[in-house]
Chain A
Amino acid sequence: MIYYNAIIDFLGVLILIFGFAIIAENFIRTLIRHLQWQSSLLALLILAVGIYKGVYELVILSVLTVLFRGWLIPEILLKDVKKEGIWEHREISTSARHSLVIGIIVVISGFILYAGLYPLLHTWKAAIPFVLILLGLTIIILRKNAIAQISGYIVEENALLYIGVVLAPMGFLLEVGILLDIIGAVLLAVILGSEKEYGPLELEELSG
């Protein structure tokens, strides 16, 4: 039990650190690598919970997570970045430095908010993914580049699976994971399809 808690906490802290790395990174290639690491660590965490709790759907989910979000999506994105010279280095316009400051504020606010949730959930294990959800949302809102936005979306997906496995580890999460991966794939297809026809997808604002 002590080892299990220590492993979960250790992996959780690493996942949160990569969340920060993603929010602060404005080099697209490095950003994708951070995403790859975060997803792989999440897969390890899901595997640990799945084995410890005896929920074998979670073991399958961890395999799918590492295959899809830890390998396939990042590799396709990296291949795409190599092809498009414009994304080889930095984002065209970036707010990454400001994002880091806002990210710190979001994390502190997230922990304070979570303290209000504690009486309902009776565990601190979900504090890290709760904060990570807010970080993912921050990335999506603050960044204009489609690849940066997709990484924000994947951070949020990772956080949702993380909070799911620590709060309510049920087989249903496997289906959720598969569906979220499909959405990731559709987003990727939109990016690639758009680039092929119209060049990099840079959105000025996410409003009507």
Chain B
Amino acid sequence: MDAVWVVYGILAFPGVASLISLSKQWKLGAASTLFASFISLILSLYLFFQGNFSTSWFYVDFVSRAMLLVISTTFIMGSFHAYFCMDKMKEFFLKPNYYWLLLNLFALTMYLAVTTPSLGYGWMWLEASTVVSAALIIVERGKSHIESAWRYIIIASTGLGMALLAIIIYGRVSGNLLWIHQSELATGALLVGVLGLLGFGTKVGLFPMHTWLPDAHGTAPSPVSAMLSGALLPSALIVFYRLYGIVWSETLFTITLVFGILTVIVAGTMIISQKKFKRLLAYSSMDVMGIATVGIALTYYSSYAIIYVLIVFGIHALAKSSLFLMAGTLKRRGLEDVDKIRSLIRKSPAMAFTAVVSALTVTGAPPFGMFIGEIGILSVLAKIPHLSWLAFSFLLLGILLSFLGLNYWILKMVFPEEDEDLSLNLKAKDVSVPLLGSFFMLGLTVLIYSWLIWGWSL
């Protein structure tokens, strides 16, 4: 099969499913979305093992192929969990069939953002994803949903406005908007890089432009939070990575590194003081994106760093999606505050297993997959020519803070306390997707180790 047709397939299935979702029968939309997410995952998996190619519409390299897989993974997890929990959703602000329509469009915009050869269209699809995901945040009725969506659109779109400015200046200087086949930009183009970092960084949730992130992740339905965290933030960072490769400046490297490290430290500090489970997870996502930003910055010194970033994205997509879906299940049973969730191991061993494995993974505990990614990034950081020990120490401090913060809360939720009687009334369908997600994550970890030990060629 020609690889380009596989890409068309990945795009066509959610596209058709979104059209079917226009039907007033929400079950028809749901069924087509489940089918589309499944086929997209299979096609993404097939494409992952194919070679690079480009057309006037697509540029598919190893990074794009890995990102397609990351997006498909969160899409399928989000879709199935959304279907299983549809009866638990609160009153709809939009009609239920629009929920499925928007889920498909959300996946579609991200697929397009990571496969385009044009910075302009990369920006456009990310901005379109803002519109779609904001609508998904307000899909359930509630004032907090509306305020979160408002903050999200205003802050993310304003930030992306800076990125558009960067792209316009780039278009002026280079004569087109393509990022492929470009030599480095002339002197003065550092501005393009800094504006791009600020703009795309807002969408990624880098400090100090992160203020929309905890609200949006905290109030969105949990499948949407999973897709926001596991797929959208990495997609925005990958579009920035394309721009970073063109600007290619040591000053931009330093600025990106500082933003990444500050994000990790701030997120690590904020995690400790969180009261709501989903906001806690949102700050954890911010922490992981900070680490990935450091990895992107380090591609200036070692192109291999992008492999570690992609490992981080892949594992994070599975682990964080599992955690968000689990948090959503608990929230719908009135358990939103971290200090009220107790004794999960007694009430739902499956949920307790998911929580512990996913939290350990997402915080980089050995031997889980994220550990490989984080150690890889730290080892490249240790080799940079100037002040590597300082950057290394601060990044390690941030990673440790988030490790302690998230695992402290998760262990408090999981292990029993005396006289604790918690009735969750969970069914198998409530925990099946997060549990499967954590198993797949363990499987992916084994694959990563196999790749390291036997050097599988991708």
List A residues at the B interface (Cβ < 8 Å): 117, 119-121, 133, 136-137, 140, 146, 149, 153, 156-157, 160, 163-164, 167-168, 170, 172, 175-176, 179-180, 182-183, 186-187, 190, 193-194, 197-198, 201, 203, 206-208
Contacts and interface: CB of A to CB of B under 8 A. Distances in A.
Interface in B128-167: 128, 130-131, 134-135, 138, 141, 143, 146-147, 149-151, 153-155, 157-158, 161, 164-165
Nearest to A194: B146
B427 interface: no
Contacts of B212: 208
A168 B128 contact: no
Given A140-B158, A163-B165, A176-B164, A119 B150 contact: no
Chain A facing B: main interface SS: helix
A196 to B, nearest CB: 10
B165 A186 contact: no
B154 A186 contact: no
B157 A160 contact: no
Contacts of A164: 164, 168
Contacts of B161: 133, 156-157, 160
Contacts of A160: 161, 164-165, 168
Nearest to A164: B168
Contact of A187 (B153, B171, B172, B177): B153
Chain B facing A: main interface SS: helix
> What bracket does the count of chain B residues touching chain A fall in?
35 or more
Contacts of A182: 128, 131
Nearest to A113: B191
A131 B70 CA distance: 39
Nearest to A186: B131
A171 B138 CA distance: 33
B124 interface: yes
24 contacts: A120-B189, A120-B191, A136-B158, A140-B158, A160-B164, A163-B165, A167-B168, A167-B169, A168-B171, A172-B121, A176-B120, A183-B130, A183-B131, A186-B135, A187-B150, A193-B138, A194-B143, A194-B146, A197-B146, A198-B143, A201-B150, A203-B147, A206-B154, A208-B212
Contacts of A117: 169, 191
A175 B120 CA distance: 10
A146 B143 contact: no
